[in-house]
Chain A
């Protein structure tokens, strides 16, 4: 995947070769073909989720007699309460929500403080700190698991939603600091200088100027962090042991084992676990898409 591949002589293209500017009609026909092709592709791409929804809405007997790829003869919602009970999704939702509500604001807040210091304040060893923090992106979480387990056990915080929060914040920081500092950097220095001349201190400047101007970036970072936290398995699996501490991924993992042959109940359980994220994704996708592109392309 280097630039060199681009120097291959292009093969003769008999279709497009003579025609460099498609006529209006041709263009429209082509646009239609592309749309139709994309539609088929998108339908295939999303078909696992479509099958899942259809199966969750039919009785098991209907599923077994007609097969998974068929239109249901009978529609029912009964799979959902059954799956909700068996999977103890109430507990899982509660735990994941607490985790999210504490971890994400706290993590984004401390990340933005550090990003501000790195981008707008005179910070000793700035480059070393930035490099060291961002390098954390490359560290797989499982290197830290045994020491973390020991450390948290030492203070009686294994199997605790609160105990899992500090490592979550630590492992979320690299990406957040990278995105936020690059965003803060684009806040005009003149603005800060003017505020300083008016007698505002750094704390005031941070809260009154930098934060309000960076709301889109902060929201994006919070959403990305929220998705990652909500979905995290490894640390939760290693540190949380009792049933009452299960997060959504742990609850689903356990549920999947129990319901292995109840195909429609399994489908309902999976949907229970993913529907809120899918809905939020559709509502917030502007931020997700924008943030991913900005975070990855701008340093």
Chain B
């Protein structure tokens, strides 16, 4: 942008200054403030993402100098790749389970803990604790609990006389994905709980008092007052969880590495395997492009709402 247009933009903005008290004089200074972050953002996020679009159109192995343009071949190959089919289904299941269960449990915990009580903050601390741990450690902990012979889960089942339910939890197709989702739910429940708690605390007591004077029972109070008051929170939790769910990688990678077979592959792990294990950087990047397009499209409404309200 030339200095001339910059001045014009700035001049226009100056006229609006009366309704924005405290806004600075126009000039180059705002750009100087913005520059370091923007350079890093453009250089290490936007630019690589755009380069990825190009790489996904090549047959590059990721190492050699040879990089041939192959058009949409990588994208067409996605349709013939049965692992991509498995991964896509797993991603959808993952999103549903790791959004719905944490939201439901988080709401339940929040409603129960939303009392003036000395113990509530302690419980809140405990329920949120898994969320601060590295996902690799969550994976280690649960793989340790799932151990078929000496893990706590099978041991407990044996002890209470349900040895028929003992499983090789992470070692068989039928249970592996679900067994990876349980720790994810464990980690993800704390966040909606905190948001719901904050929202519950902002509902005025008078609403409940008035409702109870009118003879509304508890259930009615929940469905007519509490739940509708949480609408914004539902939306935010849902949007953030959705954005997060597309990024699933750590737990699957650390617990099953996509196996047994391909049964727990998700797009992120399959992309990683293609790039770093099979040296199909072009094809792996095409997988990443697809999921990124879906993730960004799904996230746009949320980002717009956040930017607009500010």
Contact = CB atoms under 8 A, between A and B. Distances in A.
Contacts of B151: 68
B307 A130 contact: yes
Interface string A2-25: 010110101101001100110000
Interface residues of B, number: 130
B181 interface: no
A190 B22 contact: yes
Contact of B224 (A6, A63, A111, A113): A6
B72 interface: no
A190 B18 CA distance: 11
B191 to A, nearest CB: 7
Contact of A148 (B48, B132, B305): B48
Contact of B194 (A144, A252, A292): A292
B295 to A, nearest CB: 5
Contacts of A169: 40, 44
B227 A170 contact: no
A113 B31 CA distance: 10
B23 A270 contact: no
Given A121-B30, A173-B37, A253 B254 contact: yes
Q: Is the interface of B mostly helix, strand, loop or mixed?
A: helix
B281 interface: yes
A149 B126 CA distance: 39
B10 A122 contact: yes
Contact of A144 (B52, B284, B299): B52
A31 B45 CA distance: 50
B219 A13 contact: yes
Contact of B275 (A46, A146, A166, A266): A146
Contacts of A147: 47-49, 51-52, 55
A158 interface: no
A161 interface: no
A11 B186 CA distance: 31
Interface string A263-293: 1001101100110011001100100110011
Interface in B23-41: 23-26, 29-31, 33-34, 36-38, 40-41
Interface in A132-173: 132-151, 166-167, 169-171, 173
Contacts of B46: 132, 136
Given A147-B47, A273-B137, A297-B232, A69 B310 contact: no
A35 interface: yes
Interface in B274-299: 275-276, 281, 284-285, 288-289, 291-292, 295-296, 298-299
A233 B299 contact: no
A150 B137 CA distance: 29
Contact of B6 (A20, A124, A146): A124
A277 B136 CA distance: 13
Interface stretch (B76-84, B139-147, B172-180): B139-147
Contacts of B120: 38
Contact of A166 (B23, B43, B302): B43
Nearest to B50: A147
A185 B113 contact: no
A256 B254 contact: yes
B127 interface: yes
A5 B227 contact: yes
Contacts of B115: 31, 34
Nearest to B122: A42
Given A120-B24, A167-B45, A292-B191, A17 B217 contact: yes
A204 B116 CA distance: 43
Contacts of A39: 119, 123
B155 A114 contact: no
B278 to A, nearest CB: 13
**Interface hub of A146, A203, A296 (most chain B Cβ within 10 A):** A146
Contact of A1 (B25, B29, B103, B186): B103
Minimum-distance CB pairs A-B, first 4: A189-B22, A138-B299, A192-B22, A299-B309
Interface of B: 1, 6, 9-10, 13-14, 17, 20-26, 29-31, 33-34, 36-38, 40-41, 43-49, 51-52, 55, 62, 103, 109, 112-113, 115, 117, 119-120, 122-129, 132-137, 139-145, 147, 150-152, 155-156, 159, 186, 191, 194-195, 198-199, 212-213, 215-220, 223-224, 227-228, 231-234, 236-238, 240, 243, 246-247, 249-250, 253-254, 268, 271-272, 275-276, 281, 284-285, 288-289, 291-292, 295-296, 298-300, 302-310
5 contacts: A39-B119, A113-B37, A143-B48, A202-B30, A274-B137
Given A67-B159, A140-B288, 11 more contacts: A46-B126, A114-B33, A122-B17, A130-B307, A134-B307, A140-B268, A141-B247, A173-B45, A263-B147, A293-B195, A296-B236
